[in-house]
Structure 1
Amino acid sequence: MLARRSATTLARAGRYYSTASAEAGNEFLAQRAAVKEHAKGTTKLWRNVSFFVCIPVTILGSAWTWKLEKEHHDHIEHLKHENGGELPVRPDYEYLNIRNKPFPWGMQALFFNPEVNVPAGPKE
């Protein structure tokens, strides 16, 4: 009798667990398919954002910066032309370009351009 009850209980439990695992498997597959569909849509969205927003904005920003720098260069050349080939002397204010301690690469800033920037040095 005990063996029969155990066998019946095990059979019922097996049916329950097989049904539960099948339902869980179907739910897992459904979630997996939903994730794949979401990934496809998201990938398409960001590809379109990259191609139709980021690239044109980068091109327009580059063109705007080139135009602005060209105007600046033309202005510098105009000032040189007006002053006999040299830039006009800038006022040497005591609070500008103070360097009490040199950078590891020297006294000037990392992107120092001698054509445009005033050389810095220690103020006394």
Structure 2
Amino acid sequence: MLQSLGWKRPTAIVAGLFGITTILSGGMALFGGVAAKAAVGDAVPLVLWFNFLAGFGYVVGAAALFTLAPWARLVAWLIGISTLLVFAIFIVIAMSGAPFEWRTVGAMVLRSGFWLSIAIALSNGGKKMEPAT
């Protein structure tokens, strides 16, 4: 599916919804009441802030992808790589014994995988990827 040109706009819609959802949930966790903050559990503040702010980048990336802007690939790479970097920092924090939520691991894998997949597909220029020999 990613090899055809028809994947970009549907993926952009998913990315935009993902961004809006990320902004809303992150905003509730950061700025909501006591109950909203309690529902977050042992969130790592750096990751929480990063994901909230990245949600705005998701919306920008979604708009770039939807309009087939040439800079969509750059945005996807920036989001994907920065998410991986924050994920690495999160792992170091978690391994140091700081409390954390296991759901953050899954969320970071999903977020980085989603954007890196888009970046790779855009970098591939729509050509079918050949297996390594």
- TM class by shorter chain equals under 0.3
- Structure richer in helix, relative to its length: 2
TM value normalised by structure 1:
0.25
Higher relative contact order (CA 8 A, sep 6+): 2
